Structure 1
Amino acid sequence: MALVNEAIDKIGMTPFQWKLFVLNGFGYSVDSLLIICQSIAQPAVVAEYGNPSTKLAGISLGSQIGLLVGAAFWGLSADIIGRRFAFNATLFLAAIFVLVVALYSTAVGGNYILDSTSLLEFLPNGHSWLVTFMSIWWAVGYTLAGLLAWAFMSNYSCPADATSSTCSRSENMGWRYLHFTCGGLVLVLSILRFLLIRMVQTPKWLITQNRDEEVIQFLANIAGKYNRPFTLTLDDLRREGNVINTEKSAWSSIRITQHLLGLFQTRQLAWSYTVITLNWLVIGMVSPLYHVFLPYYLESQGRKVGASDTYTTWRNYAINQVSGLAGPILAAVLVQSKFLGRRGTMALGALFTMVLQFGYTQIRTPAQNVGVSAAISAASNMYYGTIYAYTPEILPSAHRATGYALCVVLNRVGGIMGVLVGSYANVQTTAPLFVCAALFALLIVLSLLLPFESRGKRIQ
């Protein structure tokens, strides 16, 4: 791994990695775009069809279960069969199943595991900050969803006070237009992934499979194509010996067990992995409590400050999502600073979000409603963008996708818990905001407890 890292550093950034930054970013955008699609549509769907249960938010719960299955399947399989298949398949499946909530969640559920992992494994060390900055694509997905919601939901939805007896299909086409548009967009993005780049297995994954010849061939081709230095030879790799058990089936129990045990090889690595999984569990609870029920918040807060019409609600929602673009940009700068680094940026993002969410419970005017909720989007995206990049950075390459997948599985468990809490809580009050703020306070502590600072460093 060290030899491959050195070779990639000598080759440096090429157009190949910049293409990956964009194409992998599509996965981030789709993940946020399609998941937020449900929360946007849910009030309109309930208005038209009624709520089948007064206690259970079935669509959101189905989504979280699908995301859990997707994270487990795509993430765990990526260390076994490699990164390429999931990279090519996830967006296409999401486009096909975009109208079936739990299924398209399963398709997108492993997206950012694979996207961040594969990009990181191709990057030279000096450009690892791009994995943090790639979360700008996550915010782009939210932004697109917010703008489309403003266009469709404000013009083609039943009034906010409509019920299933007064809301007809013809009056309520906005959420359908939203899904058709998003599904078409995802299909275009999936086709671009096939056409613009021929995705290959990452050199580090190939190393774990004893496929040294393919590593040399790929790196030599990249170096030759872009006229970059390359001195690594097949003999250099073979002198390091062979990876054990590669003659056994990739699905054998011994090889799968190695992927799990490899996450706890040392006491410090075990502590690091335990704390990072706790971070993911907590943000899993926070995300649906805030983002999935945000349209309800904005509508109820709009009534509170005298601006509750459908157009204003969805305009405010769009502004909220556009503001989220600032978070990843700021995070990409701060993670490279000596004072903050990755851990400090996560703690700072969680701190800002906590303070702002407490402040949001005290708004009195329409301007405060929009301004504070927009600031929360930017601050929370600082935290999210950093942890998405930090997690694969601190995991061993051979077990990176497995470790990340287990983090995201716990995240989805937290998401299911968050949906259930939100289902029993009154989402039109500020009570869930106090819960979210308290959880972000916990994230400050958990971020500072992480033992590794990955700025400028590499875990093999």
Structure 2
Amino acid sequence: MSSSFPLDDSVKEKVIVAYDQALSDKMLLVSNAIDDIGLTPYHWKLFFLNGFGYAVDSLLIVCSSIAQPQVELQYPRPNVIKGVSVAASVGMLIGAVFWGMGADLIGRRLAFNSSLFICSIFVIIAGAMPSYVSFCAMVAIYSAGSGGNYILDATTFLEFLPSKHAYLTTILAVWWGVGYTVTGLLAWAFMTNYSCESVQTCTYANNMGWRYLHYTAGSLVTVLAILRVTVIRMEQTPKWLITQGRDRELITVLDNLASKYDRSHSLTIEQLDKIGDIKFVKDKVDAGSNNKFLTQLRAMKTHLRGLFVTRKLAFGTVMLFLLWILIGIANPLYGIFRPYYLKTRGYAAGTVATPYITWRNYAISNICGLVGPFLAWPLLDTPFIRRRGTLAIGALLTMAFLFAYTQVKNGTQNFALACVISAVENIFFGGLYGITPELLPTASRGTGYGLAVAINRVCNICAAFIGSYANVETTAPLFICAALFGAMAFVSVLLPFEPSGRQSA
């Protein structure tokens, strides 16, 4: 029995009966075949090319948030709502649902090959927009393109990985930090020298920094999109093919992978045929092949039901969603208030950091975020810590340093604590990105991950409205963020399954 929601023996049989015995048996065979093939250069190519999706997602989130204050100066509005932040969150919400469910309905390959191209086109167009509303519209579109990237990237990567190397899905989160770092460095270069300082003095000519930022980011994403379709020929994952009843195709994928790297596996089509059809495929057929719309609705319902087939699995799914809710409020709130703290906290009354210092500190603190996944790495399979403990440690450390951040007395402390928070927060993020696909069943993995991220984006929208009306000059938001991270540590411990050391279906 293999499962993406690792089970103790008392629960295994209940899930087999409630979900699908044939699917469980076939997943075991496929997981064993992947373990037999082992880690290959193909997996390392996936690590880099899938990582591009992570990097683009974070790069574009930061790109729009950095641009927001300067766009507001150039195109002043009568209301106070942070329209760019709301547009980005709405776009990512749509992208998470579309790409997440699409991954289960039509497969992983199409999104992998197309999403970055969609992003790159509209990022470049966004840089040329002549008004606030038109810029927000482009932000929403390119955010929708990137919104499901890391859902697909983590899912695809995990489903090709041998079980003992599943920890690499957590290390994959280092690419999230790469995206932040690249954008921070670009902002340091462009926003320092090409940004206006007030509504009265702001013109098209002296406020080109946010436009240069988008042109450069869009060009970079275009290069990454080209690399994704030229360096590797993405295959549908064997485990997804199992859920679609396409057994012969999965044997071909495994055979080609083994042959290319002089490896072997013992899985045959006869072994799979002997087990019979899986319940999921039968459900799709029962929906009626003559009505494609009803077939897709039935398939979506089946994917959703797969997340809640037992009480323990349902509890695990709810707890996982709760983690995404909490981080969906805490992280953007910190992100909204952080630039104000970098600029004002710890400096003498009436003075602020220069633009150069502000953006230098921003870039360096983002570089520190690269450390997070590597700090998480040794904890992931450490006895008594493992995945859940890693999440809890990352959340508790972030909580502690956020509380400390409210007490900064000078610019040096401000900068140092911002760097430390960036690092420890990414311990939690790395663990969350890694454990989410591991805890979700394959047939519903894209749907479940998409829903988790969609819920997260709804919370991002709420945070954007909070940031629009809250007082950015107080420490109250940081106390709230710290408390939310404390809640995340508690919820992490409550997760009923521990993926460490298990096969993932």
**Separation in 2, partners of 1:444, 1:52:** 41
Partner of 1:420: 465
Shift of 1:402: 0.6
Q: Tell me the residue number matched to 1:221.
A: 256
- Identify the match of residue 313 of structure 2 among 244, 254, 269: 269
Of the candidates 230, 245, 252, which is equivalent to residue 195 of structure 1? 230
Instruction: Show the counterpart of 1:139.
Output: 177
Distance 1:217 1:424, change over 3 A: same
Q: Distance in 2 between matches of 1:117 and 1:52?
A: 43
Give the Å deviation of 1:434: 1.2
Q: Deviations over 1:14-73 (max 9, x none)?
A: 11111001000000000000011111111211222224412x111101110111000000
1:40–1:295 CA contact under 8 A, matched in 2: no
What amino acid maps onto 2:158 in structure 1? Answer: L
Give the whole-Å Cα distance in 1 for the aligned partners of 2:68 and 2:162.
43
Matches within 5 A, 1:99-248: 99=126, 100-159=138-197, 162=198, 164-243=199-278, 244-247=282-285, 248=288
Q: Do residues 291 (structure 1) and 341 (structure 2) align?
A: no
Q: Post-superposition shift, 1:302?
A: 5.7
C-alpha deviation, 1:296, in angstroms: 2.4
User: Quick check: 35-44 or 187-196, which moved more?
Assistant: 35-44
Match of 1:380 in 2: 425
| Long gaps (5+) in structure 1 | none
Equivalent-residue separation in structure 2 for 1:64 and 1:185 (angstroms): 22
Deviates more, 1:365-374 or 1:238-247: 238-247
Q: TM-score, normalised by structure 2?
A: 0.88
Aligned-partner Cα distance in 1 for 2:174–2:464: 26
CA distance in 1, matches of 2:275, 2:79: 61
For residue 297 of structure 1, report the CA deviation from its aligned partner: 2.5
Equivalent pairs, count? 456
Equivalent residue for 1:369, pick from 398, 414, 417: 414
Instruction: Say whether the 8 Å CA contact 2:375–2:427 is kept in structure 1.
Output: yes
Q: What one-letter code is carried by the residue in structure 1 that aligns with 2:480?
A: V
Distance in 2 separating the partners of 1:311 and 1:252: 53
1:33 equivalent to 2:54? Answer no
Q: Once the two structures are superposed, what CA deviation does each residue of 1:60-87 show, in whole Å capped at 9, x if it has no partner?
A: 0111011100000000111010001111
Deviation readout 1:317-375 (Å, 9 max, x if unpaired): 01110110110111122112113111101111110111111111110111101100110
Shift of 1:458: 2.7
Instruction: Name the aligned partner's letter for residue 276 of structure 1.
Output: L
Contact 2:70 2:210 in 1 (8 A): yes
Q: 1:447 to 1:372 in 2, by over 3 A?
A: same
User: CA–CA distance in 2 between the matches of 1:89 and 1:332?
Assistant: 31
Q: Match for 1:418: what amino acid?
A: A
Shift of 1:245: 3.2
* Unpaired segments ≥5 residues, structure 2: 1-26, 127-137
Percent of paired sites with the same residue = 53
Structure 2 partner of 1:406: 451
Work out the CA distance in 1 between the residues paired with 2:352 and 2:440: 47
Deviation at 1:133, TM superposition (A): 0.1
Cα deviation, residue 393, structure 1: 0.1
Distance 2:46 2:259 in 1: 19
CA distance in 1, matches of 2:393, 2:43: 29
**CA–CA distance in 2 between the matches of 1:156 and 1:256?**
48
* In 2: Cα distance, 1:71 partner to 1:256 partner: 15
**Shift of the alpha carbon at 1:292?**
3.8
Superposition deviation, residue 459 in structure 1: 4.5
Distance 1:197 1:310, change over 3 A: same
How high is the TM-score relative to the length of structure 1? 0.97
